[in-house]
Structures are given as C-alpha cells and as structure tokens.
Amino acid sequence: MRFVRSSLTLALLASLSLTGCAPQPESADTKQTSAPAEVAKVVDPIVYATHEHDVRDDVFYFVLPDRFNNADPANDNGSTELEISQGGLDVTSKWAFHGGDMQGIEEKLDYLQNLGVTAIWMTPILRNQAIQNTGFAHHGYWILDFTQIDPHFGSNDDLRSLIDAAHKRGMKIFFDIITNHTADVIRFEECHNPDGSFKEGLNGCEYKSTEQLVAGDTYSTFIPDGLENVKTPAWLNDPKYYHNQGDSFWQGESALNGDFVGLDDLRTSDPFVVQGMIDIYRDIITEFKPDGFRIDTVKHVDLSFWEAFSPAIVKHAKSLGIEHFHIFGEVYDGNPAVLSRYTTLGQMPSVLDFGIQYATADFFFKDQASDSLARLIQNDDYYNDADSDPTLLMNFLGNHDMGRVGMFIQQAQPEASESEQLARNVLAHSFMYLSRGIPVIYYGDEQGFTGDAGDVDARENMFASQVASYNDNDLIGTDATTADNNFDRQHPLYMSFAELSKLRLEHPTLRYGFQQLRNAESMTTEISNDRVLAFSRVNPADMQEYLAVFNPNDTAVTVAVQSYGTYQPVFAASGFAQTADTVTLDIAPFGYALYRTEAPILAAQPTAIALASQYADNQRIKFVYDVKLAQMADLPALKVSTYLVDERGNKSLAAEDYTSTYQAIVPPRLLLNTAALEVVVESPSGTLLTEQFEFDRTLLDAIEVE
C-alpha cells in the first residue's frame, strides 16, 4: 500500500502539533473550539541535566543492538579468539547476526534524544554461545560469560563509552539480564550423542518431574569434550547447580524446573546459586554503572530468589551512588494478580505490564468494548504495597517476542487505509503515554515497522536490511521499506512520539498521578458508552486533575463527563463546552483530548469508614472499605492507608490506595502475624479518620500461603 497523505492523514498530522493547543480562558456554559494547528514538526526535546532522576520521569526505548545500527563492521563476526562466540553473520537471514553494535547506538543518541527518549533498554549484551541448535544468538539470551560484552556488539570499553555518552546527555542505559538459565551446554546421555547432538528421532529431552527424580528416574548429565570450562564464573560449569530435568512444557513445575527451549536451567532455589547470581550482577553494576536492569523470564525462577536478589541489587547500586537504580521484570502474563506477586512478595520494584498490552489491542485495534481496559485500571490496586504502585509499571504495546503494534493493527483491521492505520497507531501510543506507568517504545515502531509475526519476524533492521521477508513489509506512514535506512525524523510516528514524550515530561501529573476511571457518556447515538474511554490523572502533590478522553472509532463522538473544576485544554478536543457539573467534548475519529483543571480539585470530605468485606481471592486477602462522604463524588481524591497491626501493637504499612473503590489487597504471608487492621483515611483538606478492624484469620485456611 503506497503511503498517501490523505485528508485524514493531514488532519492527524495537524493534531500532533501541540503548539496550536495553548490553554485559553473559558467559563461555564461557554463553547470552545480548538484553533487550527500547524503541521507537526520535530520538537525540541526535554533534556535532563543529569541521568540521576526518578524512573517515572523517563521514556524508554527498547532495542536489539544487533538490528539497530552497525557502526563498526570489524566486529560483525564476533570473537577472533573464542570459536564458541564467533560467526553467525548472515545479513540475508532473519535468524542470524546482522552487525549492529554499541558504537551504533552511541552514534544515534541524537536521533533517540530528539524522539524524547531518556532511557535505553538493550537486549542482553554479555558474551553468548553464538550458534546453538535453535539458531543464532543475535538477541543475546544465551550467555556463557557474565563478565564480558559479546564481541559481536563491541568491547567492554565500547559499552563504557556508550554509557558515558548517554549519561552526559542526561540519558540512562538499562541492561537486560538473565538469572534463569545459561547457554545450552549440558547434555543428557539418555537423549544426546557424545558430541552433544540429539539421538536419532529426538529433537528435545522429555521433562522428568520431581516425583520421577525422587523415584530414581533421572537424567545422566555430561558436558561434550572441549566445553567443560566455557562458562564464566567457573561455578556455572558444574551441572549440580542446574535442574537437569529436561525441557519445559510451560505448565506446572516444568515452568520452574525445565530447560527453557533447551537452555541450561539454573537451580534458583539453591542458596549458592542465589548468592552467585547476586555477586555476578553486583560486579556488573560496579564495573559499568548502568541505571537499572530488566530481568528476563522472571516467572520461571523461584519466587524466593527474587526476595533475596532484588533488594540486594538495589542496595548495592545505591551504595555506589546510583540512587535511582530501577529493576523491572518480564512476567509473561496479563493478569495483575499474577504480575503483582513479583512486585509484592518478590520485592521487585516493577514489571512489564502485559495486561495493558493485551487490553490496548482489544480496545484500539480489535474494536472491542472498553471492558478489559476498565478492568485493568480497576485492578491497579493489586500493585499497591509499602514500596511500589502502578505508576512504576512499564507500559508497552509490542516487543521482540509478541510482535509489533503495526502488525496487530494490520491483522485486526485488514481493510483499513494507511491513514487509518497511522491514526490507530498514534492513538494507542497516546493512551500508553498518558496512562499511569512508564512508556516503552519498541525500536522501529516510530518508523512504522510492522513485521510478519513475533520473534525474529519482529526484529527488523533500522539500518538497510537484506532480509527479503522484512523488505516486503508495508510500513505505516511512509513509502520507505526496511531495505532503506530508517532514521527519518520527519516520519509522522517519530514526530508524534516526540510530541507525546514532551507532553508527558512537561506535566508531572502524567508521570506521578494516580489514575481513576471516569464514567463517560456517549452523546452520539451510533457509538455506545463502552466504545469511549475516559480517565483522570491526579497528582497527590497538587491535586490538579488531568482528564483524558479517547475515541477509538472511525466517526466523531460527543462525550459527557462529570466536571470537578474549570478545565483548560492541554490537547484540545474539536469542540468543548462546560456547565456547572458536566464537560462535553467533541472528539474526532481516532482522536483524544486532554484537559486539566485550573485549580486543585475540591476533595471529598470523609465522615466515616467501615470494613465492608474481607475475602480470599486470587491467592490474596481483599479488604474492601466503605468510605462515607459528606457529598457524592465520582473522584473523591482521598488517600486510604492500611496498616497491619501485630499482637504487640507494632504497625507496618501494607498498602496505600488513592482511587475508589478503596481497598487493600494483601498477600496472605504478610498476614500471618497480623492481629488487626488499622485504616487511615486522609483528605487533602486535612480531614483524618482512623479506625481499627478485626482480621478474620480463618481466611488463611482457605488459601495457600506462599
């Protein structure tokens, strides 16, 4: 499909420029229409004076170094000395190495900074086994040596140079790390030949359960000749530190103990392994001073591992002066009840929010009702605990495993014009940027990349590609293909992301504010209420409300939402009117609007609190509160804190909730020594209520205590 700048596309480009949306005075019962805007242009990004800032102030860019930019062809074949980490270059194969490196990323820091990126997350860059039975390690997830950068990507000095250059710009560098497994080296006599190849008729090793092991049915391990000492540190070469139970089939205990597609699965319940991995990544932080870690395959590691690992790593980083070191994990699951296990019990500061990825695709691409997005926002309470909350979640719309936003749109809307695809793409990203959590751009999405599927089919080159299956893709918003260099700063998606980044970074509430779903009434007959979405963001620091309304339909819609003050446009609707208790917005097709109140909203006055219910659900205990108010309010703007009180009267904070319905969702382990709950309700006006409630301990009998 050739990219044609249709009237819809031009209107979209015009809407991307925030310069035409300056706040204008308005009063109740007045009609306000946004002025025409100029066609979008590249904006001056917000540049931080230092990289030492809160992670919620960041916009992330997730990149595979091998596929981004090749600045040094001399390292394209990897090591010149170690055969196990050399070779694999084939620029015509989507599976193989293509040559991108650390120098290539450093060379494009201007491009990324002008996109509004403040943090770069790279797939693993430590030295890999370059070629295995399952392909080539262009992705970096087959680590042999935890002390050296993979020579395909450059040297340790090249990595230091990149980090130094980024830090001088106020940008951060995040490493993708692995604790679940190492490269596929260990073999089993029962299914492998002496040279390490599979026996005839086999292409894997059947998983053996713990019950089988107890009965004596085990695999006999061996390491092929010449590979006995290929891993660093040396303890990683000893099979006793691995499960050795065969291949995972992704269910039951095999998800924890099985080899991840053949990769050697570490025994992460072993205290020696726990301390060994802590030591490895402490050393990495000491040597390179990264700003944080993304952790791979988190749910395939024992939960007890994370309880020790996460605090130890953060403590070490802080001891070196890295005050804002951040960790987020990959838990491949869309259920907040599952994801939040790792931020509460696992003491991990954050996780990638797969839930928002799934729900965004349903609403913005598949034209489904807003139910899944509404449930997602309402379930944010799962993440509230003493040291983390939903504002720390990592928002994303596509990645190197699942596939790209462009592909999801094209699959869901195969008959959509290119301008509609572009509009849907921008709108979904707008939702990602304006929602609670931290936005993550998947490299190439800002250039309209689409891909054909997940995995290697979503890992196109940004530099000129020679992969035929990449180069025949129809990119969104451009006539270019992946056979071209794709660092176009005039691409409409690049420009829109730059504008969104600046918008988010100019307004602290969009970074720190809690998110409350709002009741939005569609006044347009052919569009139902569940095909529009409205939410508020409110920062407890200043109590100014930001109201966001989204229209994912191909026709304009008029939406009515209850008002809590006098609103000014940040990103104006095509039409706006306000009365004493209602704001009415006309939202263009595939459009959104963002408004903020001129003054802090008037918080509700709490008069009483009761424990409405307590029950077991999703391996948690839920405490739901009934907060009586002096006046009805859809947006009460209260803070409800739950403390656990033991027999001696000692108190520990369990959760803070800023959004109604007010509740605390507590892992049962934390309740073992709890005698009562103390609940504190605070209003910004200064009103304070405190009540203690009995805890029904019989609830613990019906739930497994992790």
Active site members: 296, 330
Nearest to 460 by CA among 493, 438, 482: 482
Q: CA angle, corner 440, sides to 464 and 517, nearest 5?
A: 145
Q: Per DSSP, what are the bridge partners of residue 652? A: 644
Tell how strand 126-128 and strand 606-617 pair up: unpaired
DSSP conformational letter for 659: S
Please report, in angstroms and rounded to a whole number, the separation of the first and last CA atoms in the chain. Answer: 53
Residue found under tokens 């304070």: 688
**For residue 316, what are the contacts with CB-CB under 8 A and spacing of at least 6?**
282, 285, 286
Question: What is the rounded (10 degree) CA torsion for 162, 164, 168, 170?
Answer: 70
Q: What gap in Å lies between CA 370 and CA 532, rounded to an integer? A: 7
Strands (E) across 463-566 are located at 514-518, 520-522, 533-538, 545-551, 557-562
Q: CA angle, corner 385, sides to 382 and 390, nearest 5?
A: 55
The structure tokens listed for 486 are 């794709």
Q: What gap in Å lies between CA 157 and CA 170, rounded to an integer? A: 20
The structure tokens listed for 684 are 């910004």
Counting Cα atoms < 13 Å in the Cβ hemisphere of 92 gives 0
The structure tokens listed for 335 are 């259920």
The structure tokens listed for 345 are 């019990």
In this structure, the number of other CB atoms found within 10 A of the CB of residue 241 comes to 18
Q: How many residues does the chain have?
A: 706
Phi-psi region of 216 (alpha: psi -120 to 50; beta: other; left: phi over 0): left
**For residue 215, what are the contacts with CB-CB under 8 A and spacing of at least 6?**
none
Q: What gap in Å lies between CA 560 and CA 110, rounded to an integer? A: 42
